[in-house]
Amino acid sequence: MTTPLSLAIRQARLTVVRDNISAIRLYEGTLPASPDGTTTDTLLATLTLDTPAGAIGADGAMATLTVTTPIITNVAVTGVVAWARFVDDTGVAVMDCLVSSVPNSTPVVLSDTQIFVGAEVQLLSCVITES
């Protein structure tokens, strides 16, 4: 059974996430069931986040973490980005989510999901929610 939490508590949980993420790793493949395990999917690029990584807010009754954008990085390996792993400053996984290039369709929105080695990829938006 789900126990509803207050907006303030959901914002506090997102603050913990924000304070523990330092990069977003972009992978091709299938989103893992949990960030607790390792992945064998191909790492295509890594986006380095600001400190703190973004701002905590609210959209109606929903708590939000909006990551500071834009962030641009060079692509390490050619591929199609399918999912992202947020990691702390030691590389330990904090959370995983889907990725797309369509605004408001996934938490992470990139300039393009088909990326090529040596080119740039840009994080256009990133909004993580707690409802």
Q: Give the pLDDT score at 81.
A: 98
Q: Give the pLDDT score at 2.
A: 80
3-state SS track over the chain? CCCCCCHHHHHHHHHHHHHCCCEEEEECCCCCCCCCCCCCCCEEEEEECCCCCEEEEEECCEEEEEECCCEEEECCCCEECCEEEEECCCCCEEEEEEEECCCCCCCEEECCCEECCCCEEEEEEEEEEEC
Q: Is the peptide bond before 4 cis (omega within 30 degrees of 0)?
A: no
Q: Which residues contact 64 (CB under 8 A, 6 or more apart)?
A: 14, 56, 57, 58, 127, 128, 129, 130
Contact 45, 76 (CB under 8 A): yes
Q: Give the pLDDT score at 56.
A: 96
The model's pTM is: 0.94
Q: Give the pLDDT score at 11.
A: 95
Q: Give the pLDDT score at 131.
A: 87
Residues of the chain where predicted confidence (pLDDT) is lower than 50: none
